[in-house]
Structure 1
């Protein structure tokens, strides 16, 4: 009996490609036409791109391949597996290492170890074309968005604070422009005016929290959110002052300066980039495309430029001033907030003091977190002593790792498979009875029983998939313990010679949890 996984994927819900249900139907028909009594498991990723492998059900499928639980994987086309050549190459090697065939139904190829050089070439050619198609699609969409931005249209995504996206018809085509949202404009104006009273970003965050000022979604504003609101250029008018500002930054200006008369707002395209596989970042100004929008601004250029000047004069530097606190950016308070190193200098005695202090308590006050600050030296020494103890006694690592009992308990795959076989036999017997009872009143009851057993098989297969994943997690946990022990030894061995940054980086890689509850330091490897 062949163990077959049928994988279905669709990029987005509006995608015009074959539905996942149809992909499953074709895969099931192929499996039953070519194999006797195949054991089929379905894997489904809706709304997931082929440009990355970190898809929920595809990861489960990979785990089943690694555990040698699948003989064959059927998919509609090879691009359902991946649209990236490098990613597909890694998947191909993994499947071949575990003797798992790939059958892309529409590509007329069976991928296994016995492929000829020409067949392998065709396999990679298909993947290359899939990647090229994906990249060309991205280029077409990007070019189209740039042209829309040049014409003043909103190119999509969530509208900035103070605006809503409004649909209009131009030349028989649907477009979107920014339209005023009065409620949000009032909130935006309040944030801008308050900031110009002399606050820093962190100071304004603290002020808003103490005065219970919340967003329109009833949440407190963070300094990052405040920065995003006030740096947004869409609220500003497209006049000569803002033209000069963005031009001086080196931005690409779509229109001549003479057209910046202040009657419309600004559109700036390409300020950020990133995605599922890349970190979301702010692009340098020379990548920005500045255009005149079709919307009306909500703030004067004088006020908006004054805000930008404040950012220039009061730049928030995230670089640490003091190379102390090896748990910096690792240690958390029991309230969930990070604990940051705070420095105090006693001029009278010429002494420097360093403490870990809860960031939430500092910003919001003691009513939100009762945690007290703790000496940096105390906690740093404690974590070092814990790691030294683990190196001396390897069994201590069990006190600082996730126990196997953490994972949900499932029945063994062998037990579930036996039940699936029994359900299959029941269906076979009922099918024979149905043939004998054809045309009688008993037929409808037999059909109902068959459907019930078929539904039970689907439930068992889902349980089987989860059981195999749980077993894989437990297996990986045992392997990871050895890796974690080696990492602990590495830190202990170089604790006296490595730099602060090196120790901090090693701890970030090794510790998955580091929490101080006010009395005890809790760590997990």
Structure 2
């Protein structure tokens, strides 16, 4: 008979049964009940939650089961497989269709019998209940902190620092104003109210020589982040109604509204991703903070509506760059800014494009001549392909490119694993009153899903079809690449290009 042993540990600690112990228990069970002459496949993984089935080794085991190469799947304990009743029920049903029995050693469940199946479903219900209870406890702690309006850590918003207090033997932090920076924030809001444009706010700040904490020019992204941050908004009735209409969890009543205190928002960002993007407002928890607000609710809300209108208006003008091969890697020698691709119509009314210095296009601080885009792309493309094939660089370049992508996937997978481990460690802590854990299990699930996708990408790169590519010339391959694929390849092949107004100098990566 053919067996699969599945073992899982959600975090790498000394607590609970180790992967090795789980496997040993399962092997002993198989030997005592079925004898020794059997084929046993081992599937084990650490750092993965049982909330869903997005686990690499679990998926590998199920693939083997689907191919009907197993007779039994054995695990040490039921919650090693799943804590979700729906997933578990579908799993058992699917295994039944494939004529594969499921055995749980510790609970002594065996789906080859009717009683075993019934008992297993009951145990699965309790496993899911346990997970949901943990999730509710996390959410309750989050709401408790939200009602208090504390600052829970991270980079302080511009204009604030934190002050620590002790309350009931617990230490908390809240925000206090830093007047020199608050004046900068107030000017940003005033400039936007006057001009209604992020780029104009940026220009005004530059003219006034107003810089960030690190002495840098404020980017449009940073300005928008400040203008949309509720921490500056007073918690008055207008602000409360705005967030209620947006579907946010507002923790204060109309009587508790304040025209002095600012707002604190929890669960605003998705920290499972590197850029920590904002979540939809419906996932936010909005509370009255202990700090002083600086912008009234009606003004702050009007700015949000203006930004939204501008965003919708600009969507029609934003198109994916699917025409300029060298966009992002060409630089102006005169001022050091990037050369930006911009479309235009020539004298024959045909759409073409130019590479234009960003300093000339946006800042009006450079007068270097534009670079003809279509002609430049064609000439560099021809010279690049010719150079690669004459110097027999193709195979080396392709292999290095492939390895670079594999290394990138490995690096991202490890990053997800570290992030996930942090969330798992936080979940394990008994006193969580000082920790903001918004939907911790959901974040772990997202990281697991991302890891699974990265693993699939890595396997695609490692498949034979990419190793057979050296049978063709680089020019043959180039013809079949999309614009996006060509852009990606060019960024690997070319380090940068420098334009001095007359000649373009190209620097290769090899």
TM-score, normalised with respect to structure 1: 0.54
User: 1:354 is matched with which residue?
Assistant: 353
C-alpha distance in 2 between matches for 1:337 and 1:141: 48
C-alpha distance in 1 between matches for 2:250 and 2:222: 27
The aligned length equals 364
Question: Are 2:377 and 1:377 aligned?
Answer: no
Secondary structure in structure 2 of the residue aligned to 1:229: helix
Structure 1's 117 and 281: CA in aligned 2 closer, same or farther, altered over 3 A? same
Moved more, 312-321 or 191-200: 312-321
C-alpha distance in 1 between matches for 2:394 and 2:77: 46
Alignment of structure 1 residues 72-83 onto 2, 5 Å: none
Secondary structure in structure 1 of the residue aligned to 2:299: helix
Structure 1's 517 and 207: CA in aligned 2 closer, same or farther, altered over 3 A? farther
C-alpha distance in 2 between matches for 1:251 and 1:380: 49
Alignment of structure 1 residues 278-289 onto 2, 5 Å: 280-289=276-285
Alignment of structure 1 residues 266-345 onto 2, 5 Å: 266-276=263-273, 280-315=276-311, 317=314, 321=318, 325-327=322-324, 330-334=327-331, 339-344=339-344
C-alpha distance in 2 between matches for 1:341 and 1:397: 28
- How big is the shift at 1:268? 2.1
Secondary structure in structure 1 of the residue aligned to 2:287: strand
2:479 to 483, 492, 496: 492
Structure 1's 524 and 403: CA in aligned 2 closer, same or farther, altered over 3 A? same
Indicate conservation of the 8 Å contact 2:236/2:296, yes or no: no
Secondary structure in structure 2 of the residue aligned to 1:334: strand
C-alpha distance in 1 between matches for 2:474 and 2:288: 55
Structure 1's 223 and 490: CA in aligned 2 closer, same or farther, altered over 3 A? same
C-alpha distance in 2 between matches for 1:488 and 1:149: 60
- How big is the shift at 1:218? 0.6
Indicate conservation of the 8 Å contact 2:324/2:377, yes or no: yes
User: 2:485 is matched with which residue?
Assistant: 506
User: 1:187 is matched with which residue?
Assistant: 184
What are the superposed Cα offsets for residues 466-516 of structure 1, whole Å, 9 maximum, x if unpaired? xxxxxxxxxx9xx9786697997454136xxxxxxxx33323443444533
Alignment of structure 1 residues 441-460 onto 2, 5 Å: none
Indicate conservation of the 8 Å contact 2:331/2:339, yes or no: no
The RMSD of aligned alpha carbons is: 5.2
Structure 1's 402 and 192: CA in aligned 2 closer, same or farther, altered over 3 A? farther
Indicate conservation of the 8 Å contact 1:273/1:283, yes or no: yes
1:260 to 257, 260, 280: 257
C-alpha distance in 2 between matches for 1:226 and 1:151: 28
C-alpha distance in 2 between matches for 1:507 and 1:280: 29
Structure 1's 481 and 200: CA in aligned 2 closer, same or farther, altered over 3 A? farther
2:76 to 91, 102, 122: 122
Alignment of structure 1 residues 392-407 onto 2, 5 Å: 395-397=392-394
1:171 to 168, 187, 196: 168
More relative contact order in 1 or in 2 (CA 8 Å, sep 6+)? Answer: 2
Gapped regions of structure 1 (runs ≥ 5) = 1-9, 12-16, 19-77, 95-115, 408-475, 495-502
Structure 1's 122 and 360: CA in aligned 2 closer, same or farther, altered over 3 A? farther
User: 1:4 is matched with which residue?
Assistant: none
C-alpha distance in 2 between matches for 1:487 and 1:200: 47
C-alpha distance in 2 between matches for 1:318 and 1:517: 31
- How big is the shift at 1:152? 1.8
2:213 to 216, 230, 250: 216
Secondary structure in structure 2 of the residue aligned to 1:243: helix
- How big is the shift at 1:224? 0.4
- How big is the shift at 1:300? 2.5
User: 2:244 is matched with which residue?
Assistant: 247
C-alpha distance in 2 between matches for 1:181 and 1:371: 42
Secondary structure in structure 2 of the residue aligned to 1:307: helix
- How big is the shift at 1:275? 1.7
- How big is the shift at 1:86? 7.0
C-alpha distance in 2 between matches for 1:486 and 1:319: 40
C-alpha distance in 1 between matches for 2:315 and 2:132: 35
Indicate conservation of the 8 Å contact 2:325/2:377, yes or no: no
Secondary structure in structure 1 of the residue aligned to 2:76: helix
Alignment of structure 1 residues 86-101 onto 2, 5 Å: 89-90=56-57
Structure 1's 203 and 328: CA in aligned 2 closer, same or farther, altered over 3 A? farther
Gapped regions of structure 2 (runs ≥ 5) = 1-10, 15-43, 62-70, 84-126, 405-461
2:233 to 223, 231, 236: 236
Structure 1's 324 and 82: CA in aligned 2 closer, same or farther, altered over 3 A? closer
- How big is the shift at 1:198? 0.6
- How big is the shift at 1:180? 1.5
Question: Are 2:504 and 1:517 aligned?
Answer: no
